[in-house]
Amino acid sequence: MQFETGTKVLIVGKDASERRLIGDALMLQEDLIAIEADTSQAALSLLREQSPKSVLIDTDLLDIDGRDLCRLMRRQGVKVPIILLSLQASDADIILGLDSGASDYIVKPIHNSVLCARLRAQHRHFEQLDDAVFPIGPYSFRPSTKILTSKNSDKKIHLTEKEAAILTCLYRLGGRTAEPADLMTKIWGQNGHVTPHALETHIYRLRQKLELDPRSVKLLVTDPEGYRLVR
């Protein structure tokens, strides 16, 4: 699994140079966007404003213990992966960190390749959860409920099972184009008796719900090779 185009990772720590080193390393190795916070309040604000796909928290923060920030985020309904970074390496410290709601716990010094691998694993696991929420343009999409929710007005748009499956499949491609034959196989299976016209009909109906102006497609675009989701 590669990271999706423009995947945001929130890095929370009091040491600006350390935050920058981690952010630079992630952006060099994968297609990531690092956003940084030095306090718990700044981190919570960025969570609301930027909707990162994962959070890295140093346990040693300026205004709060990183484990307490993790607990606070979970109590506020944050579902995305949270990885704690710490110099504390005892079994007791690791258990306390995981019990605070962390998805993973990494002992410093940090090896960049290991951090990327663990981020990929956590993103992969999160996308399979029933309560996963995907940001798509001006919407939040919850595949388990097949509902698009407008970020600006809380308007809810209900999708059919096939529409939700198509949207989920395109989202997980991370901006890459899906060929119609591959998309039909993933949605209807190898033995599904479906024609390209049927897929086009589902795409058309999905656009009517997804696009702010279906006459000017911005999100679910058609390429020469197939269909692509722009987020």
Q: What local confidence, expressed as pLDDT, does residue 1 receive?
A: 44
**Nearest to residue 187, comparing CAs of 202, 208, 204, 205?**
202
Query: In sequence order, which ranges of the chain are alpha helices (DSSP H)?
Result: 16-29, 40-50, 66-75, 91-99, 112-127, 161-172, 180-188, 196-210
Q: What local confidence, expressed as pLDDT, does residue 109 receive?
A: 92
Residue 97's Cα: distance from chain center in Å? 22
Between strands 226-229 and 220-223, the pairing is: antiparallel
The count of structural domains within the chain is 2
Q: What local confidence, expressed as pLDDT, does residue 189 receive?
A: 78
Among 64, 93, 127, identify where a domain stops: 127
Verify that 64 and 80 share a domain, yes or no.
Answer: yes
The 3-state DSSP class for residue 5 equals coil
Verify that 15 and 46 share a domain, yes or no.
Answer: yes
Strand partners, 150: 139
As a whole number of angstroms, the distance between CA 208 and CA 227 comes to 15
Query: Would you report the helix, strand and coil content of the chain in percent, each value rounded to 5?
Result: 40, 20, 35
**Nearest to residue 157, comparing CAs of 137, 142, 174?**
142
Q: What local confidence, expressed as pLDDT, does residue 200 receive?
A: 93
Verify that 16 and 117 share a domain, yes or no.
Answer: yes
Verify that 88 and 176 share a domain, yes or no.
Answer: no
Q: What local confidence, expressed as pLDDT, does residue 3 receive?
A: 47
Verify that 188 and 171 share a domain, yes or no.
Answer: yes
Among 80, 112, 127, identify where a domain stops: 127
Please say whether the beta carbons of 53 and 28 come within 8 A: no
Domain membership of residue 99 (yes or no) is yes
Q: What local confidence, expressed as pLDDT, does residue 144 receive?
A: 84
Q: What local confidence, expressed as pLDDT, does residue 6 receive?
A: 61
C-alpha distances (whole Å) from 16 to each of 11, 21, 55, 58, 117 are: 10, 9, 16, 12, 23
Domain range for residue 11? Answer: 7-127
Tens-digit pLDDT string for the chain (231 aa): 444 446 789 999 999 999 999 998 888 865 678 999 999 999 999 998 888 889 999 999 999 999 999 999 999 988 899 999 999 999 999 999 999 999 999 999 988 888 988 988 888 788 777 667 888 989 989 888 899 999 888 789 999 989 999 998 898 887 889 999 999 988 887 655 678 888 999 999 999 999 989 889 999 999 999 999 987
